[in-house]
């Protein structure tokens, strides 16, 4: 390239982008430290404790003070904790505790950082997948993906599923109260099934997933929650799960991960009672890339690149919908499977909730 062909650099734009990259650099390493703080219980120990020294925090969590002090420096620089130089104390504000310490909070994000940490651990696998085009099966990921995903999604399900999403479906809550038959396809560790089972004891719930270790964990969680008499879990794929005549079939943040979402949706339609309902929960997205160029879209495209799309490509058909498929594309899938009624029933900043009927 000759000097005349070199692009003209706008110094102001360059400086602004370097600043953006530096912010991302800090966020990237801080994400790791967030995961460490979550894993070691540092945030939970700080929640509600008021101003605290690094030595006290280390003592309360059984950790080494020198590491904790450096970790706190990162947290203070990022605005996660407040540092008081007068007495060298650190405080986790109540608002931040809602996000990083309180697992019952609807805005808890500790699971998100656990999920992302699992992806960093698998980076060699993803590099090879980029080169070959091969898929990466769910079972091939770092084990923290499974626990991270359930901790990521459970707070939203607990906050919205029973009080908002189910009531947004025509006639479904009445059926659940009187005693309905429910299937949860792609149930993972069973959080969604258990939340529904706790609210509707007259109904029966069965969760299906291809990942046997997740099913074992779901069974244990149901027993711990005391709902295992009416909530059970079985290993099965979305295209061959047993049973028919279900009043409600749910798919939570899973249809886009499936290799053949049309085939899965077709089996769901066949499994529904004539007046049954499909509750489909998917990541919130617009119908075009330009509609998703925002922080939520950025996160979902990132997770989709290393989790959702590779997972779909590892299965038969390998459609690779991706986590940002959008309502229009999802509706096409459902109508191709035979559903005649599809509508958006509810939404949150992170999810769209679709109702589909045969």
Convert the pLDDT of each residue in 148-190 to its tens digit.
999 999 999 999 999 999 999 999 999 999 999 999 999 999 9
Give the per-residue pLDDT at 126: 97
Contact criterion met (CB below 8 Å) for 339 and 345: no
Contact criterion met (CB below 8 Å) for 121 and 145: no
Domains annotated on the chain, with CATH: 20-100 (1.10.10.10), 113-357 (3.40.50.150)
E strand or H helix that includes residue 251: strand 246-252
Burial class (CB in 10 A: 0-12, 13-18, 19+), 43: buried
Q: Tokens 């003070």: give the residue.
A: 65
202 DSSP 8-state letter: T
Nearest to 325 by CA among 279, 284, 356: 284
Nearest to 47 by CA among 78, 82, 87, 91: 91
Give the per-residue pLDDT at 4: 61
Q: What are phi and psi of 95, to 5 degrees?
A: -65, -45
Cα separation values, 6 from 13, 17, 158, 308, Å: 17, 19, 55, 39
Contact criterion met (CB below 8 Å) for 205 and 231: yes
**pLDDT surpasses 70 at 1:** no
- Taking residues 99-125, what's their average pLDDT? 96
Helix (H/G/I), strand (E/B), else coil: 279: strand
- Taking residues 90-110, what's their average pLDDT? 97
pLDDT digits (tens, 9 = 90+) for 16-52: 999 999 999 999 999 999 999 999 999 999 999 999 9
Question: Given pLDDT bands bounded at 50, 70 and 90, which one contains residue 6?
Answer: confident
Question: Given pLDDT bands bounded at 50, 70 and 90, which one contains residue 5?
Answer: confident
Contact criterion met (CB below 8 Å) for 162 and 199: yes
Residues 133 and 76: their CA atoms lie apart, in Å, by: 42
Residues 249 and 276: their CA atoms lie apart, in Å, by: 8
Cα separation values, 264 from 168, 235, 236, 237, Å: 23, 15, 12, 8
Q: Tokens 């800090």: give the residue.
A: 26
pLDDT digits (tens, 9 = 90+) for 276-319: 999 999 999 999 999 999 999 999 999 999 999 999 999 999 99
Record the pTM.
0.93
Report the DSSP beta bridge partners of residue 280: 251, 354
Residues 113 and 148: their CA atoms lie apart, in Å, by: 8
pLDDT digits (tens, 9 = 90+) for 132-145: 999 999 999 999 99
Residues 124 and 344: their CA atoms lie apart, in Å, by: 39
Helix (H/G/I), strand (E/B), else coil: 300: helix
Nearest to 162 by CA among 261, 250, 293: 250
Report the DSSP beta bridge partners of residue 353: 281, 346
Nearest-Å Rg of the Cα atoms of the chain is 23
**pLDDT surpasses 80 at 57:** yes
pLDDT digits (tens, 9 = 90+) for 239-275: 999 999 999 999 999 999 999 999 999 999 999 999 9
Q: What tokens appear for 200 in the block?
A: 């509707």
């Amino acid at each position: 390239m000759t000097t005349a062909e070199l692009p003209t650099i706008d110094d102001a734009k360059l400086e602004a982008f370097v600043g953006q990259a530096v912010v991302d650099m800090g966020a990237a390493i801080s994400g790791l430290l967030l995961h460490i703080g979550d894993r070691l219980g540092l945030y939970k120990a700080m929640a509600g404790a008021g101003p605290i020294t690094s030595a006290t925090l280390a003592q309360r969590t059984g950790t080494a003070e020198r590491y904790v002090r450096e970790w706190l420096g990162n947290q203070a620089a990022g605005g996660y904790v407040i540092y008081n130089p007068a007495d060298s104390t650190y405080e986790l504000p109540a608002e931040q505790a809602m996000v990083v310490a309180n697992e019952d909070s609807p805005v808890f994000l500790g699971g998100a950082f656990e999920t992302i940490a699992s992806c960093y651990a698998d980076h060699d696998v993803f590099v090879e997948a980029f080169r070959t085009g091969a898929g990466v099966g769910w079972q091939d990921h770092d084990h923290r993906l499974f626990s991270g995903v359930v901790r990521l999604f459970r707070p939203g399900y607990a906050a919205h599923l029973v009080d908002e999403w189910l009531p947004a479906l025509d006639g479904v809550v009445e059926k659940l109260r009187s005693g309905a038959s429910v299937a949860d396809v792609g149930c993972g560790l069973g959080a969604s099934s258990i939340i529904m089972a706790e609210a509707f004891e007259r109904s029966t719930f069965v969760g299906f997933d291809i990942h046997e270790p997740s099913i074992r964990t779901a069974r244990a969680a149901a027993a711990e929650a005391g709902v295992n008499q009416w909530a059970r879990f079985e290993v099965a794929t979305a295209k061959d799960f047993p049973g028919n005549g279900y009043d409600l079939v749910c798919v939570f943040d899973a249809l886009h991960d499936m290799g053949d979402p049309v085939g899965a949706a077709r089996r769901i339609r066949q499994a529904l009672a004539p007046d049954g309902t499909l509750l489909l929960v998917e990541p919130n997205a617009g119908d075009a890339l330009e509609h998703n160029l925002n922080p939520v879209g950025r996160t979902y495209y990132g997770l989709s690149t290393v989790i959702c799309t590779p997972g779909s490509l590892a299965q038969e058909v390998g459609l690779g919908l991706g986590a940002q498929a959008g309502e229009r594309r999802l509706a096409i899938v459902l109508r191709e499977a035979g559903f005649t009624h599809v509508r958006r029933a509810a939404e949150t900043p992170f999810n769209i909730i679709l109702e589909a009927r045969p």
